[in-house]
C-alpha cells in the first residue's frame, strides 16, 4: 500500500489485514512506523494495529521502521514481534529511502537491535538493492557478502536479501545464497523478490534450491518500493509462492479458502493499475 497516492481508509486496511490474518501466514508485514510526510499512506499504522483480530490467528506481526524513533514507537506495542529495517548496499538508495548514509544506517541498525533485545522483539534486516541498483553505485556479490558479514557479526539473526528493482537473475541468486547461508547456520536468510510475470519462478527456484526457506510476497504482486524508481516493479505474488511450494510438497498449513477470499478482496482494495 505504501506507494499508492490515494489514501486507503483505515477501516478498509483493517478489514483486509484481518482477512489476511485468517490465512495462516507465518508473518504479516502490516504497517510502518515512518514519517507521515515521507509515507502518508502509513500514518494510521497504530490505529490499524488496535483493530486487528489477533486472538484467532497464528500469524506474527512485522512493522517496518526507518530510524530509532520509529523503532521506539513500534516497541511500545506488545503485539508486534518483528521490526523490519531496510539497510541498503547502495549509498544513493539509502539516502533516498531513509535519508541517511550507509555509515549512519549501520549505526541505526545497532541502535534498533538494542531496542529489540530490550523489548523482546526480533530485528529483520532487509539488504536493499542486494542484487544491483539503477544508480551506478558500486555493486558486486563480494560487496553484499561483506555487509552480510558485518550484520551477522552484530547479532542480526534474520537477513533478507531484497531485489528492490527486480534485476536479480538465477545465477546471481544461486551464487549469493549458496555462499551466504552455509557460514551462518544460526542466521535465517530470506528472499524479498520484486519481479515481473514472466520471470518469477526462476527466481524462487534459484533461492529455494540453495536452501533459502524464508520468502516474502504480496497478494497478486501488488506494490513495490516508491523510493526506488518512478515506476514500481511489483512484489512477488504470494499465490505464486504458494503454488510453487505446494508443488514441492512443503507443508504450508494455510487456510486455502481464506487465501482465495483474500485474493478476491485484494481486487477491491488495490487500484488495478498497480498490477505487473
Catalytic residues: 225
Name the H helices within 181-255.
200-208, 238-247
- Report the candidate in 119, 96, 114, 180 with the shortest Cα–Cα distance to residue 144: 180
Cell of 244: 510453487
CB 112 within 8 A of CB 85: yes
Phi and psi torsions of 31, nearest 5°: 180, 180
DSSP output for 100-151: S-HHHHHHHHHHHHHHHHHTT-EEEEEEETBTB-SS-----HHHHHHHHHHH
The SS3 assignment for 158 reads strand
Who contacts 10 (Cβ-Cβ below 8 Å, separation ≥6)? Answer: 44, 47, 48, 51
The SS3 assignment for 62 reads strand
The SS3 assignment for 264 reads helix
Neighbours of 185 (CB within 10 A): 7
Neighbours of 134 (CB within 10 A): 14
Q: Which residue has the cell 547461508?
A: 181
Amino acid at each position: 500500500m505504501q506507494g499508492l497516492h490515494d489514501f486507503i481508509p483505515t477501516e478498509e486496511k483493517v478489514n483486509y489485514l484481518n482477512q489476511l490474518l485468517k490465512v495462516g501466514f507465518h508473518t504479516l508485514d502490516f504497517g510502518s512506523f515512518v514519517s507521515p510526510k515521507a509515507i502518508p499512506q502509513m500514518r494510521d499504522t497504530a490505529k490499524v494495529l488496535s483493530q486487528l483480530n489477533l486472538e484467532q490467528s497464528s500469524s506474527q506481526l512485522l512493522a517496518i521502521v526507518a530510524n530509532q524513533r520509529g523503532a521506539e514507537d513500534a516497541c511500545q506495542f506488545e503485539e508486534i514481534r518483528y521490526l523490519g529495517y531496510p539497510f541498503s548496499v547502495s549509498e544513493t538508495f539509502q539516502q533516498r529511502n531513509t535519508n541517511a548514509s550507509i555509515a549512519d544506517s549501520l549505526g541505526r541498525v545497532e541502535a534498533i537491535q538494542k531496542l529489540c533485545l530490550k523489548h523482546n522483539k526480533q530485528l529483520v534486516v532487509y539488504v536493499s538493492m542486494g542484487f544491483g541498483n539503477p544508480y551506478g553505485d558500486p555493486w558486486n556479490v563480494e560487496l553484499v557478502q561483506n555487509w552480510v558479514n558485518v550484520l551477522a557479526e552484530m547479532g542480526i539473526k534474520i537477513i533478507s536479501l531484497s531485489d528492490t528493482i527486480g534485476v536479480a537473475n538465477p545465477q546471481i541468486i544461486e551464487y549469493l545464497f549458496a555462499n551466504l547461508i552455509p557460514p551462518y547456520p544460526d542466521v535465517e536468510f530470506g528472499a524479498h523478490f520484486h519481479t515481473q510475470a514472466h520471470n518469477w519462478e526462476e527466481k524462487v527456484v534459484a533461492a529455494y534450491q540453495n536452501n533459502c526457506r524464508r520468502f516474502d510476497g504480496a497478494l497478486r504482486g501488488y506494490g513495490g518500493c516508491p523510493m526506488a524508481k518512478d515506476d514500481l516493479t511489483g512484489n512477488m505474488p504470494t499465490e505464486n509462492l504458494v503454488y510453487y511450494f505446494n508443488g514441492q510438497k512443503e507443508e504450508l498449513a494455510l487456510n486455502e479458502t481464506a487465501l482465495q477470499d483474500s485474493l478476491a478482496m485484494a481486487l477491491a482494495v488495490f487500484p488495478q493499475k498497480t498490477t505487473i
